[in-house]
Amino acid sequence: MPSSLLIDRIDAVLPQTQCTKCGYDGCRPYARAMALEDAPINRCPPGGQPGIQALAKLLGRPESGLDSSCGEHRPLQVAVIDEAHCIGCTLCIQACPVDAIVGANKLMHTVLAADCTGCDLCVAPCPVDCIVMVDAGREWTSQDADTARMRYEQRQRRLQAQHSELSGLAARTLANKAPVAALANTDSTTRQAVIAQALERARARRQKT
């Protein structure tokens, strides 16, 4: 089987959450590593054991348990932004691999729940801890995976066209470069003051809970 076809078939089995928990920069890079580098088939927490079974059957490999170093399989979750405390830093927008968060610099952001893959990549960058993951109340479907793949690929093409840089974690941080330019061009003292004020508000909010 041609390697490109095998990569396509492996990619079709993966859930397309683009969470990078497997250690690769998205589902297709992981599929490529399995096809060309004999990467383990048990590194996808969103796919869980059914995903491992499907990969084992496709690749003719022994089935194994999920590699716990990559995380645990959990029901689908989606990100929710506490909009009252969002400072409009755009860091979550930059982190989202499927453009499921909308907003602009210094304006409130919100998550498009129907497009969120539950990757949780937006949580860590938030400087004010105003993003949480909640149960989606539904199962992730093959249609969801197809939509997520399409949105991910559209994003990668846009990043490459706008910034002439390779897709991946580095390129992902370049999303919405124009909206963040105003803050980026300010002096370091101003940037530090903005973040310090945001963090202080976050600490005060946590102390009240």
Main-chain dihedrals φ then ψ at residue 90, nearest 5 degrees: 75, 5
Residue 100 phi, psi dihedral angles, 5° rounding: -95, 5
The reply to whether 60 and 34 lie within a common domain is yes
pLDDT tens-digit map of 70-117:
999 999 999 999 988 999 999 999 999 999 999 888 888 999 999 999
The CATH number covering residue 13 comes to: 1.10.15.40
Q: How many CB atoms lie within 10 A of CB 119?
A: 25
pLDDT given for residue 105 in this prediction: 85
Residues 52 and 111 in one domain: no
pLDDT digits (tens, 9 = 90+) for 175-191: 443 333 344 445 556 65
What is residue 176's predicted lDDT score, i.e. its pLDDT?
Answer: 41
What ranges make up the beta strands (E) of the chain? 77-81, 101-102, 110-111, 131-135
28 occurs within a structural domain: yes
Structural domain count of the chain: 2
Q: Looking at the domain assignment, is residue 190 inside a domain?
A: no
Quote the CA–CA distance of 173 and 98 in Å, as a whole number.
Answer: 13
For residues 9 and 36, state if they share a domain. yes
pTM: 0.77
The number of C-alpha atoms within 13 Å of 168 and in the hemisphere containing its C-beta is 9
Specify whether the CB–CB gap between 42 and 65 falls below 8 A: yes
More confident residue, 30 or 108: 30
For the chain, the first-to-last Cα distance in angstroms comes to 57
